[in-house]
Amino acid sequence: GWRMRMEGGEEMQGAVGLRCTWDTPPSAGTQAKWVRLNVGGTVFLTTRQTLCREQKSFLCRLCQGEELQSDRDETGAYLIDRDPTYFGPILNFLRHGKLVLDKDMAEEGVLEEAEFYNIGPLIRIIKDRLEEKDYPVTQVPPKHVYRVLQCQEEELTQMVSTMSDGWRFEQLVNIGSSYNYGNEDQTEFLCVVSKELYSSPNGLSSEASHKAKV
């Protein structure tokens, strides 16, 4: 059988009592099943089965020992010079098929790694997510709706205080005093208010869908 080139391999073989050859059936002993990866200084422990979930990936080829002679660290872990931050989601995706990210983690960073490791399904998922994210922003800019309300001076404070959520006070135009000097009580105002409406791709405004979620 083909023998793995391992630094410090003698001690490991002694410890497990197994010669590390590829004729060994996968279930025999821990060496065949468990794989250590040293990604940018962080060690990940996983199984050969997990890494080979995606047959075409770099990780699958790595642990099958095909054409990739990867360096190993002193513990026998494969050395991979990539960012460990984004490797967690990659490994978890291979474990359970879902993309799970912390809220601070950039999807672009995970995409970069998914492309490096050549994990096709994950690349598609992230690209879809990024497109969804871009879509409302680039395709549907917020619409500004303006309303002009006419009211008398004494109604003004009441009207401003009862203005519904999302409406913003823009401008007040005094139209009464210019032609009605005699009676200040009759001063009329035009009150301009505006509201931003965000449309999501399915045509509902985001406010409506937000309320539906709640």
pLDDT digits (tens, 9 = 90+) for 33-64: 889 999 999 999 999 999 999 988 999 988 77
Report the pLDDT value the prediction gives residue 199, as an integer from 0 to 100: 66
Domains 34-134 and 143-197 share a fold: no
Q: Running DSSP on this structure, what letter comes out for residue 199?
A: B
Length of the chain: 214
CATH number for the segment(s) 34-134: 3.30.710.10
* CB-based contact 34:47 (threshold 8 Å): yes
Q: What is the rounded distance in angstroms from the CA atom of residue 91 to the CA atom of residue 107? A: 15
C-alpha torsion 18→22→24→29, nearest 10: 50
Residues 194, 167 contacting (CB under 8 angstroms): yes
H helices present in the chain, as ranges: 9-16, 30-33, 48-51, 58-63, 87-96, 107-117, 120-139, 153-161, 206-213
Residue in 159, 144, 161, 163 with CA at minimum distance from that of residue 205? 144
Q: Report the pLDDT averaged over residues 19-36.
A: 56
Q: Give CB contacts under 8 A, 24+ apart, made by 62-68.
A: 63/35, 65/2, 65/4, 65/22
pTM of the model: 0.49
Domain extents for the chain?
Answer: 34-134, 143-197
Classify residue 163 by its DSSP letter.
Answer: P
CA-to-CA dists, residue 139 to 68, 128, 135, 194, 203, angstroms: 44, 15, 5, 22, 12
By DSSP bridging, strand 78-80 and strand 34-39 are parallel
pLDDT tens-digit readout, 175-206: 866 555 555 556 788 888 888 887 655 555 44
* More confident site: 69 or 45: 45
Fold topology of 143-197: Alpha-Beta Plaits (3.30.70)
Closest CA to 39 of 7, 71, 3: 71
